[in-house]
Structure 1
Amino acid sequence: MKKLIFAGLCSGVFLLSSCGNAKDEASSSDVPKALEVKLTGPEEVQPNEKAAYQAAVVYGDEPVTDADEVEFEVWKEGEKSSSSQFKASKKEKGVYRFETDFKDDGLYIVQSHVTAKQQHSMPTIQVRVGDAETDSGSSGKETDEHSHHH
């Protein structure tokens, strides 16, 4: 009886120790990286003036040249329901670009939608067109409140 109990305890200790080692090895080699998107472009333009916006996409330390989807969305502040979406074209390694113009004075939002490496990021830039008044609480810089990582 003592031999049976001792054998059972040894087996249990062996199983627990081997499970713990497998977990440690998997977690150290499978550390997920974050998809990072830096959206840049002019924050002030005149009506009908061409403006170029770029999304630099990086996963870890590597530029992403094979993103699943990169689109840009533009809308006048307060009128998102009438937004326009545009497919991006690649300019250089990991940088996706698009050009647009703004017809009327006002505050606009440019947002990139990037899907790559099973993650999605949506940074934004506020653009002042012509004689539009800027919001006192907004700097016009890229906002994190509209940036999502999944």
Structure 2
Amino acid sequence: MKKVLSLLIASIMMTAGCSNAKNQDAVEKPVDVNILLPTSDINLNKEVTLRAEVSQNNKAVTDADEVQFEIGKTGEDSMAMLDAKNGADGIYSANYKFTDPGDYYVIAHVTARDQHSMPKMDFKVPATTSTNSGTGKSEHESHSGDDHHSDLMIHLMGTENLDVNKENVFTIHLMTNDGKALEKANVRIETWKDENGKHDYTDAKEVAPGEYEVKYTFKDKGTNTVKVHVEKGELHDHTEKEVTVN
């Protein structure tokens, strides 16, 4: 009887183990992101649609937590971060108007199913003889001129719905331009309300390869600034963003 009971227990444990392994494999399947640009030339001063096709195990992902398009000129700071709208069949899209010709890049920041993907695509905006062309900067430009992200992509998440006197959680994703996660870096945030006021520094903790987490409690409502500092070896990069604290 004891032998039969032992075999039964072993069988149940093996079945549960196989089930857990299957569930784990399903979770670990990577989320694939394919950037889709217009097949024809992108014209100046004419709105174009940027698309990202998101899938997992060859099935459309229609429940992504966040999809954004980061746009910038090659070798320069990013000039826009666009929130994408969820479309049918896992296609997320956003519109943008280019006002200057040149070599550009777009990075699709996709957070879905506990994964984060940041594919990058380079493209060219040709010069045209459009009468509306000019050298003015796009209304989407928001980054300060001292940011220098030529070697590193920094994505700060958790900047919405911030509350005063409450612990807020920020997630920071770091990736090199060749698509590799930047691991074991020294990452911290600098926060301030007034440029001449007190600046707080809070260290972030790496929770996954290239993913860092930091918690911070704001003491003042209104517009605050969050600046991310990244250091590893000779690399020292940063980016900053104004946030609204309720």
Q: Would you say same fold, with TM above 0.5?
A: yes
Q: What is the alpha-carbon root mean square deviation over aligned residues?
A: 2.9
Change (3 A) 1:124 1:21: same
Q: Is the 8 A contact 1:49 1:101 kept in 2?
A: yes
Deviations 1:10-61 (A, max 9, x none): 9xx9899987765444223431311011111137423213221111111223
Match of 2:178 in 1: 145
CA distance in 1, matches of 2:19, 2:125: 54
Q: Is the 8 A contact 1:124 1:147 kept in 2?
A: no
Q: Equivalences for 1:91-110 in 2 at 5 Å?
A: 91-110=87-106
Q: Is the 8 A contact 1:49 1:102 kept in 2?
A: yes
Structure 2: state its 5+ residue gaps. Answer: 128-176, 182-208, 210-246
Runs of 4+ in 1 over 2 A off after TM superposition: 13-26, 144-148
Match of 2:22 in 1: 28
Once the two structures are overlaid, the 10-residue window that deviates more, 64-73 or 29-38, is: 29-38
- Aligned counterpart in structure 2 of residue 130 of structure 1, from 126, 133, 143: 126
Q: Is the 8 A contact 1:40 1:55 kept in 2?
A: yes
Structure 1: state its 5+ residue gaps. Answer: 1-9, 132-143
CA distance in 2, matches of 1:86, 1:29: 34
CA distance in 2, matches of 1:128, 1:146: 20
What TM-score does the superposition give when structure 1 sets the normalisation length?
0.68
Give the CA deviation at 1:119.
Answer: 0.4
Counting matched residue pairs gives 126
Q: Does 1:67 align with 2:64?
A: yes
Give the CA deviation at 1:86.
Answer: 0.7
What TM-score does the superposition give when structure 2 sets the normalisation length?
0.44
Higher strand proportion, which one? 2
Q: Is the 8 A contact 1:52 1:100 kept in 2?
A: yes
Structure with larger Rg: 1
Secondary structure (helix, strand or coil) at the match of 1:83 reads strand
